[in-house]
Amino acid sequence: MCGISCIIDKSHSIDDRILTCYTKRVSHRGPDSMGILKFADSDGLPQTDDNNFLVGLGHRRLSIIDLSENGSQPMLSTDKSLAIIYNGEIYNYIEIRQELEKEGISFRSKTDTEVIIESYKKWGINCLSMFNGMWAFVILDRKRRKIVISRDRIGVKPVYYYLKGKMLAIASEIKQFFELPTFKKEPNTDSCLSYLLTGYEIPPETCFKDVLSFPPGCYAEIDIDSPEVIPEKFWFPENMPIYKHSEKELISRIMNVFTASVNFRLRSDVPVGGCLSGGLDSSAIFTEMKQLQPSHDFNAFSACFEDPQLDERRFMKSIIDKTGSSHIQVFPNPNEFIADLPEFFRKHDEPVGSLSVYAQYKIMQAASTRKVPVLLDGQGGDELFSGYWTSYFLMLNNYYCKNDFLPLLKHVGASLIGGNREFFSQIFSHLSEYRKRNSRALPFSIKSKYLGQSEALNTIQWHRDAQILSPREYRNAEIFRIHLPRLLKWEDRNSMAFSIESRVPFLDVNLVELILSINPEHNMRKGWTKYLFRKAMDSKLPKDICWRKDKKGFETPQDKWMKSGVFNKYLLNWASESNHPVTEFISEDFKEIKEILAGGNFNSIRMFRLFCMDYWMSNLAS
């Protein structure tokens, strides 16, 4: 994984020093090497060593494939007509390379970077449909005086842009824009309000004014002489047809495609490990890794807690014993969190959703300490296979609203032999949560001057809008709009903070397209979520994991940390401070917030958002 930097500067206000600092800002993404190329403002865009330039490309490299200098970036095509900066992995690069070699194309390196640039040279923008992987890249087409941006289908890898006057800047992380003389660190009011009220974002907007996230599954061809970013889609998952398969065929195909996906993600010239939570998804990946490479001793990395309600070590041990692997456990605690706060938030650029993000941060830190630069992770499994209880209950609500009672009766089977009775207890907790959301039970209220603006946000009514979506529409929303985009953003920042490449087998294009061709109802049966995937892994996983009835998710003792002990004291001290920029948005003064914190009667997730937003606004200049 790497960090990319691109600046088009028609005003000639950006010099070599700024480009260098702009690129160095993400040294953590690529500690192995740094490269910069500059191109002058004349026909053909010749390379230049002058202080000023028209187009500047910068790259920080994390070496994963072909560790030699042949893989250094920015990289030029063989005829030097194209230059590329790239962050990601094209997992099927070997197969594409072989196809290009049949066409007479020779290669100087063994990298997937060179495969991308030669694929673009051969097939143009159509090459994107051939790539199976995660990517964010910029290609400079010197002859056409254009740059091409692209981001992978799901948005595993980030790319941001900032357009001001005659300058366009493109980056892997928002903090890079801080180096630009025209950039002002100003909050985006809509995004800040959305985060405070719901925790959700409003892509492509970010919490920073004038900074946009380039959308997944898109590309843009940008004229260097008049830069304007107009994303165009190259992938259309919403048009995926639904196919009717027998259950036996579906299970077989899921198992085969999943195995191929994990196998692709084991391609590496450096050590590979896995994240292990004890749940179905990470356990399936780690077990598959070991079956594919039985002689390899993979390290498993886990966040653990002594709290009995959150302790999953017995499930982790089941997988460790089965695979005979090494197990590295980290125990995040509130003292460490307080010490890590400045750097943790600095790496994320924007407010995060909960303390579970920090637990993942500590896993990545442990992998870095053990010198394991590649980790496979289970992100995306819940969204793909309808693993959240909310998906199940909204499906039943959809049946009810359509007076379709026969399918409803089928799910009563949760109480029978082979059913999951946890289904019934979850109904009540989810009804309670939805009542809270409807009442907007927040520990603060939005100032009257922002009420109209906040009501107009398309995230504010999401939980209500979701109730009228079909199961297929809701699944697509989870994958492309709501849950997954922010989880992937946080995972990218956590992993890259420690120069770790995180790979997500569930988001392989072949697996995503297969699941999108199946009605989500097939994954929810007799009280079970992820039914088809459980069936696919039934012979490979221990029964207590494959058919585990409860679902903890990736949880931390956030409620306990915030309502007692050292972190509660930290929050009380925070509330006692005199300067709170978040009061721009909320009506309460911080005497009231302190009283709420001291009383302990508050929703910890919503209070954490208030703390994060205030901390972020106080440290915009960092």
Structure tokens at 456: 């107009």
Identified catalytic residue from 2, 207, 275, 304? 2
Q: Residue with structure tokens 């690529």? A: 30
Strand arrangement, sheet containing 167-171 = 33-39, 55-61, 3-9, 167-171, 160-164, 212-213
DSSP for residue 15:
B
Please count the CA atoms within 13 angstroms of the CA of 394 that sit on its side-chain side.
24
Contact 4/58 with Cβ under 8 angstroms? yes
Task: Return the sign of the alpha-carbon dihedral for residues 124, 128, 131, 137.
Answer: positive
Active site residue 6: no
Q: Is the N-terminal amide bond of 31 cis, ω within 30° of 0?
A: no
Task: Tell me phi and psi for residue 579, to 5 degrees.
Answer: -110, 120
Structure tokens at 164: 């001001």
Using CA atoms, how far apart are residues 383 and 376, in angstroms rounded to an integer? 17
Strand partners, 222: 147
Structure tokens at 365: 């830190």
Contact 499/373 with Cβ under 8 angstroms? yes
Strand segments (E) across 187-276? 212-213, 218-223, 232-233, 272-275
Provide the pairing of β-strand 326-330 with 501-503. Answer: unpaired
Using CA atoms, how far apart are residues 375 and 508, in angstroms rounded to an integer? 15
The amino acid at 477: A
Q: Is the N-terminal amide bond of 74 cis, ω within 30° of 0?
A: yes
CA 468 to chain centre: 27
Contact 356/558 with Cβ under 8 angstroms? yes
Instruction: Please give the positions annotated as active site.
Output: 2
